[in-house]
Structure 1
Amino acid sequence: MKKIQRLFSLLFLLMALLFTGISVNAQAKLSIGRETARQKEKRMQWWTEGRFGMFIHWGLYALPARHEWVKNRERINNETYQKYFDEFNPDLFEPKKWAKEARAAGMKYAVLTTKHHEGFCLFDSKYTDYKATNTSAKRDLVKEYVDAFRAEGIKIGFYYSLIDWHHPDFTIDKYHPLRPANDDDTAAYPALNKGRNMAIYRKYLYNQVTELLSNYGKIDILWLDFSYPGKLGKGKDDWDAVNLLKQIRKLQPGIIVDNRLNLEDYTDGADFVTPEQVSTKELEKYKGKVWETCQTFSGSWGYYRDEDTWKTHRQLLDLLITSTSNGGNLILNVGPTARGEFDYRANNALDSMAQWMHANSKAIYNCTYAPETFLVPDNDKLTYNAATKRLYVHLFEYPASGTLTLKGYKGKIKYAQFLHDDSELQYKEDGNDLILTIPIKKPRFEIPVVELVLN
């Protein structure tokens, strides 16, 4: 009996090893390239160290000024939407101003919508007439953006919509402006799509991405948006996403690509995940991943004249600090007006970020979450620079008592100061804790930062 038991145990072990091997091989097959983890880390280094970027959503939807999805929301056909193309005349477009504002706000990279879901191209594509060079602008607006931001030392990113509501071969789905009155009426779609050929659109998409990555020099980021797989949606097969990503990597080997190609089954199908418009509390669950949260100053991505839910300076700082303190990036969006400039509310928000970042950027750049051995003071947040051995305490709740208690910090630090002016903060031991003396009068920053030099 014991011999039989040993035989069964041996057989079970062999089967487990076999299945493990199959699993490993299957996992190995789900890889598009051959980049090692170390190579990826090096390629991504500037991005993870920069932490902060600018998104720019700009297109024909700036003219109706009723949300960038206005064509979808109001079910506008191409003929009706044409008036915005005819009237597009960004006479105040000065991308050098945009770039200077981004740099002043502390943004290390920028991503511009070269084409959004409406299908209008800000660049001079040879595959369409629906482009800026055929409007009153009469020029390639993407080229001017690239030149201006590159001159300011800001990394260059392109957003390109996988979706195209203008292209005649892009098949009508649940998000298309020409969808049936009942979005879920599956029987109505075949007739609506008669004569449309997704294969033709797929080639168009491939050709335009190739143009963008061939005609403007080194491109640092490509933001593709977005997949929605399912019966009435579109996913990786509709984009031929694997071959598209191969082409992207071939043309720009160092580029960083987002996760919206629906390639979750591949270990290298994306470089970072993109939680969109989520709360700071939700961002905490991304700790340990490579991620960037995309957020708006207001409730819309494109210019929305009458929208009035603009985030406060404190809310914007909270997003930036919370992102860094959980090992992620923040990309904040501006939606320029149809005349091509940032409106006053966006400028005010950028100016407020510029003031804070001028004094406190060391607590953001090259920083991440703190080691678990450092307890976070109540209601505050920590960021950490491993290279310089500096820990930053972001004082969300400024201590009215004139003291800040750091529990369990005894013997861990050798100096303390405010980051904005390098003014010393004295401290004393209290058991295993340290008690910092903080001035009663709060510094002029919404969220002051204490810099701790670690042992």
Structure 2
Amino acid sequence: MKALSVPWAVLLLALLMCAVPAAGAEQEAAPCGATEADYGWWRDARFGIFIHWGPGAVIYKHGLQRTAPPADHPGYSKRSYNAKHLPVPKEIDNGEFLKYRDTPRAPVDIYDNLYRVFNPVNFDADSWAKVFKDAGAGYVIFTSKHIDGFCNFNTKYTDYNVMNTPFKQDICKELAEACRKQGLRVLWYYIVSDMYEDSYDLSNPKPYEDYLCHQIEELLTNYGDIAGIWWDGGAIKLDTERICRLMRRLQRGCIYNGRCWGGRHGVAFGSPEQRLGSFDMKRPWETCAVIHGSSWIWNGGKNIKSVNMCLRMLIDCAGGDGNLALNFGPCPDGSIYPPIKERYLGMGQWLRQYGESIYKTRGGPYKPGHWGVSTRRGNTVYLHVTQKWPGGVLALPPLPAKVLACKGLTGGTPEFTQSDKLLEIRLDAEQHACPDTVIALTLDKNAMEIEPIDMPLAPSLTVDAKATASSSVNPNGARGAPETVVNYSFETGKLTKHFGEESNDRGADIHRPGNRKYTDADVERIKKKVGRNHRGHFWRFWMPRADDPQPSIEVDIHQPQTIRRIGINELYGQIRAYELQYHDGKEWKTFYTGNTVDTLQVQLAKPIVAQRVRLLITKTNGESPSIVAFDLF
């Protein structure tokens, strides 16, 4: 081939240089937001472990439980305040800081100096990751920085980090490496609000924005492949497009939730907190919930949810086409509390047997209902029957596909009858499983081609019911009063009802008004008792006194009605034996007995007619039970 002349060679070289973008241009071209395709692995995983940890664990508290700043300070939400200018309290050196485990709040100078005694010598990232893998999780979310400003990673932008504790080890680095060995993806939790960092100031946000971006660059550069950022909120106004482009430039497939910018930049997953999300196949979502009590950080090992309650949360999330991020707080010494480990491993044992009905599935085609939920993959629909159905017959709306086969994954040989009016499943009661009877339907078509099927929803008969109890730890407040377990037609605001379908613009009238007519005085009295939280919230519950040998709670629906179904929800799963009873006008009669309530739905084999129904608790695990909902249908 004849050689090019020099002018032509120069021209060709110039053209080639124009075709290769400069580094700056490549950075500018980084996509601003995540795409639906980025969520493929995340949807397949369905289950993640959430971890909240830091120096506050030493006294069972997080940053919001510091005492208020001085009176002349505008408040933590507007500007940070820390104890760097104050002397180190003597309690830090002599161990008396532990007394703040039993107080609602800790002084700022105590809390801000807990890092000096934070020494989790029993932290073993490899053993943690093995537990998470054996639990059946696909990813881990870990607190890189919480609202107290403390950083669990080696950052050069603040001294308030783990490298300046007695531990002096980069927890984020060790955990990320251990998780990757187990095939688990890692997301960093990072909160925008910061009660400690000096540059956090709503009146001058740019310095803090720079601080935040520097730390996000560290977290997405120094720790290998990171799957995403789990953002928590803050009132400070930041350049969210700058932050989003930074994430996507450093980790191209980075996903994130929408607490800081909603849907302004690509696909951000929803993150309903301590409640079940709504059925939604368009936007990815993930319920974040706590395995122990209501505290995200270590609470001393109290009120740990049962394995069945944890599984029900996961099953219900999958049926709504969402994920579950189940949080725990590690112990101050770095270990996982054995009962919490037991719960996670119990979930893993179930998932190893029945995970095909959860992993790599989508929600539907049946929307969630009192009976349970459904998931689907390929030409298979998985029915997750989480109700008690002693009659052994499940009737569902018609399915627009032919059922070719019906298999009981959890045991038994179910039979089915299909018509253009209903799909009926029959399975002997002896073969029903707890917490979930899983039945696989093989169809003659791809189940994903079926549009979601609405489930008929019966209104609760206990709206406006009179609720009374044998005892209460707090008869006049939302954390104890029996009135908290029912909805009222005069309530307004968002309600979490039976399985995640929230109402954002209407009150309890969506259930239809109850039969009871309240005076204005009654309304005010009940409002003071139930508080402003919706029914089902973890700060709204009935709890009996500890000295009540057989506590009971009763609902009176004011006139006899036919009752076909009972729904009762516990907060933590402490009941070990109970009876459901109705009053026949003379005495209480038992019509159903069981061992655990957890999240209970009972489809009665034979309806009852009654006005007064009660739950009689005959045995617990030693802790006082908490009931958040009592429904009759």
Q: In which range does the TM-score fall when normalised by the shorter chain?
A: 0.7 to 0.9
Are residue 446 (structure 1) and residue 443 (structure 2) matched?
A: no
Q: 1:336 matched to which residue of 2?
A: 330
Q: For 2:296, give the aligned amino acid.
A: W
Q: For 2:270, give the aligned amino acid.
A: V
Q: 2:244 matched to which residue of 1?
A: 245
Q: For 1:266, give the aligned amino acid.
A: R
Gaps of 5+ in 2: 1-27, 69-103, 445-633
> Which residue among 217, 222, 242 is the counterpart of 2:229?
222
Contact 1:258 1:272 in 2 (8 A): yes
TM-score (norm 2): 0.56
Q: For 1:276, give the aligned amino acid.
A: E
Q: 2:389 matched to which residue of 1?
A: 399
Query: What is the CA deviation profile of residues 58-95 of structure 1, one whole-angstrom value per residue up to 9, with x for unaligned ones?
Result: 11110111355322676756532244111111011012
**Displaced runs of 4+ in structure 1, greater than 4 A?**
32-37, 72-78, 374-378, 428-435
CA distance in 2, matches of 1:103, 1:46: 16
Are residue 166 (structure 1) and residue 160 (structure 2) matched?
A: no
Distance 1:85 1:67, change over 3 A: closer
> RMSD over aligned Cα, in angstroms?
2.8
Distance 1:299 1:379, change over 3 A: same
Are residue 390 (structure 1) and residue 388 (structure 2) matched?
A: no
Alpha-carbon shift at residue 369 of structure 1 (Å):
2.3
- Of Structure 1 and Structure 2, which has the larger fraction of its residues in strand? 2
CA distance in 2, matches of 1:429, 1:121: 58
Q: 1:96 matched to which residue of 2?
A: 126
Alpha-carbon shift at residue 131 of structure 1 (Å):
1.4
Contact 1:375 1:406 in 2 (8 A): no
Aligned positions of 1:246-325 closer than 5 A? 246-261=245-260, 263-264=261-262, 266-268=264-266, 271-278=268-275, 280=276, 283-284=277-278, 286=280, 288-297=282-291, 298-305=293-300, 307-308=302-303, 310-325=304-319
Alpha-carbon shift at residue 432 of structure 1 (Å):
5.0
Q: 2:219 matched to which residue of 1?
A: 212
Query: What is the CA deviation profile of residues 292-334 of structure 1, one whole-angstrom value per residue up to 9, with x for unaligned ones?
Result: 11111131111111653x3333432232122211221111101
> Which residue among 57, 61, 65 is the counterpart of 1:66?
61
Alpha-carbon shift at residue 254 of structure 1 (Å):
0.7
Query: What is the CA deviation profile of residues 272-308 of structure 1, one whole-angstrom value per residue up to 9, with x for unaligned ones?
Result: 1211112x3xx22645322111111131111111653
Q: For 1:327, give the aligned amino acid.
A: D
Q: For 1:359, give the aligned amino acid.
A: Q
Q: 2:168 matched to which residue of 1?
A: 138
Relative contact order, higher structure (CA 8 A, sep 6+)? 1
Are residue 347 (structure 1) and residue 329 (structure 2) matched?
A: no
Distance 1:78 1:67, change over 3 A: closer
Gaps of 5+ in 1: 1-31, 174-192, 229-233
Q: For 1:395, give the aligned amino acid.
A: V
Alpha-carbon shift at residue 406 of structure 1 (Å):
4.4
Distance 1:416 1:343, change over 3 A: same
CA distance in 2, matches of 1:402, 1:220: 44
Q: For 1:251, give the aligned amino acid.
A: L
Q: 2:593 matched to which residue of 1?
A: none
SS in 2 for 1:340: coil
Distance 1:207 1:71, change over 3 A: same
Alpha-carbon shift at residue 104 of structure 1 (Å):
1.6
In terms of mean alpha carbon deviation, does 340-349 or 324-333 score higher? 340-349
Q: 1:356 matched to which residue of 2?
A: 350
Are residue 54 (structure 1) and residue 61 (structure 2) matched?
A: no
CA distance in 2, matches of 1:360, 1:415: 18
Contact 1:414 1:453 in 2 (8 A): yes
CA distance in 2, matches of 1:110, 1:353: 16
The structure with more radius of gyration: 2
CA distance in 1, matches of 2:247, 2:368: 42
CA distance in 2, matches of 1:82, 1:68: 9
SS in 1 for 2:166: coil
SS in 2 for 1:110: strand
SS in 1 for 2:362: coil
CA distance in 1, matches of 2:423, 2:41: 35
Q: For 1:355, give the aligned amino acid.
A: Q
SS in 2 for 1:63: helix
Q: 1:365 matched to which residue of 2?
A: 359
SS in 2 for 1:210: helix
CA distance in 2, matches of 1:72, 1:101: 36
CA distance in 2, matches of 1:442, 1:248: 50
> Which residue among 352, 366, 372 is the counterpart of 1:380?
372
CA distance in 2, matches of 1:357, 1:115: 31
